[in-house]
Structure 1
Amino acid sequence: MARWAPDSRGRLENAAFELFEAEGFSATTVPEIAERAGLTTRTFFRHFADKREVLFADGAMSEYAQQIIADAPPGLTPIEVVRHLLHQSAEEQFSGRADRIRRVRAIVATDPTLRERELAKRHELSTTAEAGLIERGVDEVSARLLADLAVTVMYLAVDRWLASPDSESELTTRIDEILDAHSALHADHRAPRPR
């Protein structure tokens, strides 16, 4: 077996997805993934810390989100910063990946440890966004609420996008729909209550 093989990471991902879907996540071993990809177990561990990371390999996502928040135009309001973050993430991180995301979600849904890992990932993203908003001068309570909102909106928008992926640009439309629904809900609560 060659020490170096082209697109070894992609081959490992494909092999892992096929095995997770056919055999189940918990029943699949790293040596099986490496063998199916025609690579060594050592090569697997050069690319992934463990088999879960094949599904959650977006470890740089938190740093990416923090950078987008830091680089957002200075005149934006906090909710506009959230919209900017979500739009940029949709265009740069999700475009062209609908099939992969759909497969990841289907696999995650079958395994409680993966669902737990996904919740941890959501928390990590929220914490990072919160820190980024605080750096921009947003107070701690507002930053926490907006960070949680950003993560929830993205997950809801992706759900809707995957249910009817008419076009790659539709994810930003879904984001806007959910943010607008949130704004309308907030406006309804500010209206005087009937006596």
Structure 2
Amino acid sequence: MGRWDPDAQGRLERAALELFAEQGFAETTVPQITKRAGLTTRTFFRYFADKREVLFSGEDDMRMALAEIIRAAPPGLSPMNLIEHGLNTAATTIFEPRFQDFRSWRAVVATDEGLRERELRKQQLMTETVVAALRERGLDEQTADLIARLAGLVLQRAIARWVEQPIANQRLVVFIHESLSQLRSIVSPASTAPLS
């Protein structure tokens, strides 16, 4: 393939993920990535500051997509229904079409402390984005923050279980539903009765 291929960024991302999976993140170099992608090192640095950023390049788009999902949710949803609607929509539109990519991505991130720290920062930025979108819907700061953090925890737990599958036998929405059902059972009125 020519180096002016219009999907240069995608080719670099795929090549990097393949190499990270094959030989490890620390052992993979930028020249190896560009060679695998059939591109130049100069092209790599046009898209990414370093090899770590290959793994986090789509996070701005993902945050914008999550905010739009919240903005477009039907009016009048209760906080729990809003969480469920948002998570189900994100699962079907953002995550489920890219099962293998997310599975490979999580496996690579789990191998490196610096990548795990970067993932925590990504999660915090996502929470801030969701809080802002919830505030636009009229929720107060504390409620928006609590809902955003709950949604993030449910999503992370569901994704962790989803990508444990070798192939996507169960859809992500199934794991989201299970996590939300467990959350509802924990916070049900019966569970809040005073201890005697």
In the superposition, the TM-score normalised over structure 1's length comes to 0.90
Amino acid in structure 2 at the alignment position of 1:166: N
Match of 2:169 in 1: 166
Alignment of 1:44-83 (within 5 A): 44-59=44-59, 60-83=61-84
Q: 1:17-60: CA deviations, max 9, x gaps?
A: 22212332123222221122110112222333321222222221
Whole-angstrom CA distance in 2 between matches of 1:96 and 1:63: 18
Distance 1:192 1:131 in 2: 33
Partner of 2:15: 15
Aligned pairs for 1:26-105 (under 5 A) are 26-59=26-59, 60-105=61-106
Confirm whether residue 110 of structure 1 aligns to residue 111 of structure 2.
yes
Alpha-carbon separation, structure 1, partners of 2:30 and 2:188: 51
Count of paired positions? 193
SS at match of 2:77: coil
| Alignment gaps of 5+ in structure 1 | none
Deviation at 1:8, TM superposition (A): 2.3
Cα RMSD of the aligned pairs, angstroms, is 1.9
Render the CA deviation track for 1:44-96: whole Å, top value 9, x for unaligned. Answer: 22333321222222221111111111111112122222211111110111123
Cα shift readout 1:161-186 (whole Å, capped 9, x = no counterpart): 1223314xx21121111112111101
Query: What amino acid maps onto 2:15 in structure 1?
Result: A
Offset from partner CA, 1:122-145 (integer Å, 9 cap, x none): 111111111111111111111111
Give the residue type in structure 1 aligned to 2:116.
R
1:104 maps to amino acid: W
Gaps of 5+ in 2: none
SS at match of 2:45: helix
2:70·2:133 contact (CA, 8 Å) conserved in 1? yes
Identity, in percent, stands at: 47
Deviates more, 1:31-40 or 1:47-56: 47-56
Residue by residue over 1:99-141, the C-alpha shift from the partner in whole angstroms, topping out at 9 and shown as x without a partner, is 1111111111111110001000111111111111111111111
- Distance across 1 between alignment mates of 2:69 and 2:85: 8
Asked if the contact 2:109/2:115 (under 8 Å) is kept, the reply is: yes
Name whichever of 134-143 and 182-191 sits farther off. Answer: 182-191
Task: Please tell me whether the aligned partners of residues 78 and 133 of structure 1 are also in contact (alpha carbons under 8 angstroms).
Answer: no
Q: Which residue type is aligned with residue 56 of structure 1?
A: F
Amino acid at match of 1:49: A
Q: Secondary structure at the match of 1:163?
A: coil
